[in-house]
A and B are shown apart, each in its own frame.
Chain A
Amino acid sequence: MTRSVLLQLIVSGLITGLIYALVSTGLTLIWGLMNLVNFAHGEYLMLAMFSAYWLSTLRHWDPLVSLPLTVVVVALLSCATYALLIRRLLTASVLAQVFATFGLMVFLQNGVQFLFGPSFRSIPNPWLEGRIRLFGTYIGQAQAVAGAGAFVTTAALYWFMRHTDLGRALDATSQDRGAAAAMGIDTNKMFLLAWAINGALLGVAGSLIASSYYVHPTVGQVFSLIAFVVVALGGFGSIEGAFIAGMLIGVFQTLCGFFLPSQIQLVPVYLLYIVIVLVRPQGLLGSR
Chain B
Amino acid sequence: MRRDLVAFVAAAVGFGLILPLIFGLNVVVIDVMILVFVYASIASAWNLIGGYVGQFALSNAVFYGVGAYTSTIVSTRYGISPWLGMLLGGFAAAGVAVVIGYPCLRLGFHYFAIGTFVIGESVRLLFLSWDFIGGPLGLFIPVAPSGLSAFQFQEHLPYYYIALALMLVTVTTTYVITRSRLVFYMRAIKGDPEAAQSVGIDVASIRLRVFCLTAFLTALPGTFMAQYVLYIDPQSVLDTQISILASLLPILGGIGTVWGPVLGAVILIPLGEVTRVALGGSGRAADLVIFGGLIMVLALFRPSGLSGLPRDILGWLRRSVAEAT
A interface residues (Cβ-Cβ under 8 A, vs B): 37, 85, 88-89, 92-100, 102-111, 113-114, 117-118, 221, 225, 228-229, 232, 261, 263-264, 266-267, 270-271, 273-274, 277-278, 281
Residue of B nearest to A224 (CB): B117
A253 shortest CB reach to chain B, Å = 13
B235 shortest CB reach to chain A, Å = 11
Total A-B pairs in contact (CB under 8 Å)? Answer: 130
B65 shortest CB reach to chain A, Å = 16
- Asked if B288 and A95 make an inter-chain contact with CB atoms under 8 angstroms apart, the answer reads no
- Asked if B115 and A274 make an inter-chain contact with CB atoms under 8 angstroms apart, the answer reads yes
Given A106-B244, A110-B289, A267-B126, A85 and B296 contact (CB-CB distance below 8 Å): yes
A277 contact from B107, B291, B299, Cβ within 8 A: B107
Question: Given the complex, which residues of A lie within 8 Å of B125, measured CB to CB?
Answer: 263-264, 266-267
- Asked if B286 and A114 make an inter-chain contact with CB atoms under 8 angstroms apart, the answer reads yes
Question: Given the complex, which residues of B lie within 8 Å of A110, measured CB to CB?
Answer: 285-286, 288-289, 292
Complexed CA–CA distance, A110 and B244 (Å) = 12
- Asked if A107 and B115 make an inter-chain contact with CB atoms under 8 angstroms apart, the answer reads no
For chain B, which range describes its interface: under 10, 10 to 19, 20 to 34, or 35 or more residues?
A: 35 or more
Residue of A nearest to B136 (CB): A263
Complexed CA–CA distance, A160 and B294 (Å) = 38
Question: Given the complex, which residues of A lie within 8 Å of B119, measured CB to CB?
Answer: 270-271, 274
- Asked if A114 and B289 make an inter-chain contact with CB atoms under 8 angstroms apart, the answer reads yes
Question: Given the complex, which residues of A lie within 8 Å of B288, measured CB to CB?
Answer: 106-107, 109-110
Q: Which of B104-142 contact A (CB under 8 A)?
A: 104, 106-107, 109-111, 113-115, 117-119, 121-122, 125-126, 128-129
- Asked if B128 and A263 make an inter-chain contact with CB atoms under 8 angstroms apart, the answer reads yes
B240 contact from A103, A114, A221, A232, Cβ within 8 A: A221
Question: Given the complex, which residues of A lie within 8 Å of B107, measured CB to CB?
Answer: 277-278
Offer 14 A-B interface pairs, CB within 8 angstroms, sorted by A: A89-B300, A94-B110, A98-B109, A103-B298, A106-B289, A107-B288, A107-B295, A113-B284, A118-B285, A264-B128, A270-B122, A274-B103, A278-B106, A281-B111
CB of B303 within 8 Å of the partner chain? yes
CB of B200 within 8 Å of the partner chain? no
For B56, B111, B283, the residue with the greatest tally of chain A CB atoms inside 10 Å of its CB is: B111
Question: Given the complex, which residues of B lie within 8 Å of A85, measured CB to CB?
Answer: 296, 300
- Asked if B292 and A105 make an inter-chain contact with CB atoms under 8 angstroms apart, the answer reads yes
Q: Which of B86-118 contact A (CB under 8 A)?
A: 103-104, 106-107, 109-111, 113-115, 117-118
A97 contact from B244, B283, B299, Cβ within 8 A: B299
- Asked if B240 and A225 make an inter-chain contact with CB atoms under 8 angstroms apart, the answer reads no
Q: Which of B11-56 contact A (CB under 8 A)?
A: 54, 56
CB of B251 within 8 Å of the partner chain? yes
Question: Given the complex, which residues of B lie within 8 Å of A278, measured CB to CB?
Answer: 103, 106-107
A102 shortest CB reach to chain B, Å = 7
- Asked if A94 and B109 make an inter-chain contact with CB atoms under 8 angstroms apart, the answer reads yes
CB of B293 within 8 Å of the partner chain? yes
B188 shortest CB reach to chain A, Å = 16
Question: Given the complex, which residues of B lie within 8 Å of A118, measured CB to CB?
Answer: 283, 285
B114 shortest CB reach to chain A, Å = 5
CB of B279 within 8 Å of the partner chain? yes
Given A106-B288, A266-B125, A277-B107, A88 and B113 contact (CB-CB distance below 8 Å): no
A269 shortest CB reach to chain B, Å = 9
Residue of B nearest to A118 (CB): B283
Complexed CA–CA distance, A117 and B291 (Å) = 18
Complexed CA–CA distance, A168 and B308 (Å) = 47
Complexed CA–CA distance, A239 and B111 (Å) = 19
Question: Given the complex, which residues of A lie within 8 Å of B128, measured CB to CB?
Answer: 263-264
B52 shortest CB reach to chain A, Å = 13
Question: Given the complex, which residues of A lie within 8 Å of B109, measured CB to CB?
Answer: 94, 98
